[in-house]
């Protein structure tokens, strides 16, 4: 802050000298202006260095991962082998019946909740349904959940013929 005070003082001297147009005052004004510009340059440089230091990457802690897992579980929980029933007929429909989840975090999780969204061949959304998974998945484990085994509940049914689906998690309970 002392440099900022000096900068403000130099600026005031420059402004006061504007009222007196003599050559001596002009020289003093030019000198004060150069000094003020140098002070501003120094302050800006120091601020840039402080900002760079504050935003530098720091080692991630286990607590960072815990917070990330709670806030954005899809960064740590990957799904595969998503299966839906596909009822044909005049009103084709879809319902989630199983999926496999890989837990890439360092924490065990349980009681996952999420949403599956189906899209047609053109990429248009057909609809979505919520689901919940019973049981836990240890850190680093991959586990399959299914309606048949009673570990997956997804009561929602969406009408249409899907070309693909996407799964997102909305809730996760972290065990350790």
Helix (H, G, I), strand (E, B) or coil at 28: helix
Q: What is the CATH number of domain 63-174?
A: 2.60.40
Average pLDDT over every residue of 84-91? 80
pLDDT at residue 10 tops 90: no
- What is the chain's Cα-based Rg? 31
The confidence band for 2, taking pLDDT boundaries of 50, 70 and 90, is low
Percent of the chain with pLDDT over 90: 54
- Most confident stretch, 17-21, 25-29, 83-87: 83-87
Return the closest-CA partner of residue 154 out of 92, 96, 102: 96
CB 99 within 8 A of CB 167: yes
**pLDDT computed for residue 8 by the predictor:** 52
DSSP annotation of 20 reads: -
CA distances from 107 to 75, 103, 112, 144, 155 (A): 13, 8, 13, 18, 28
**pLDDT computed for residue 62 by the predictor:** 83
DSSP annotation of 73 reads: G
Q: Where are the domains of the chain?
A: 2-55, 63-174
């Amino acid at each position: 802050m002392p440099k900022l005070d000096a900068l403000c003082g130099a600026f005031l001297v420059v402004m006061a000298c504007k009222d007196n147009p003599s050559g001596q005052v002009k020289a003093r004004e030019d000198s004060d202006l150069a000094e003020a510009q140098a002070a501003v340059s120094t302050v800006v440089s120091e601020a840039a260095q402080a900002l760079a230091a504050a935003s530098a990457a720091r080692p991630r802690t286990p607590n960072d991962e815990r917070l990330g897992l709670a806030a954005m579980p899809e960064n740590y929980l990957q799904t595969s082998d998503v299966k839906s029933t596909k009822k044909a007929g005049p009103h084709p429909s879809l319902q989630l019946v199983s999926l496999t989840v890989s837990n890439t975090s360092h924490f065990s999780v349980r009681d996952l909740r999420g949403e599956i969204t189906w899209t047609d061949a053109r990429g248009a959304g057909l609809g979505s349904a919520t689901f919940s998974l019973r049981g836990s998945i240890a850190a680093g484990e991959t586990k399959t959940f299914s309606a048949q085994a009673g570990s997956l509940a997804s009561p929602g049914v969406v009408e249409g013929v899907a070309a693909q689906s996407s799964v997102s998690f909305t809730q996760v309970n972290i065990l350790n």
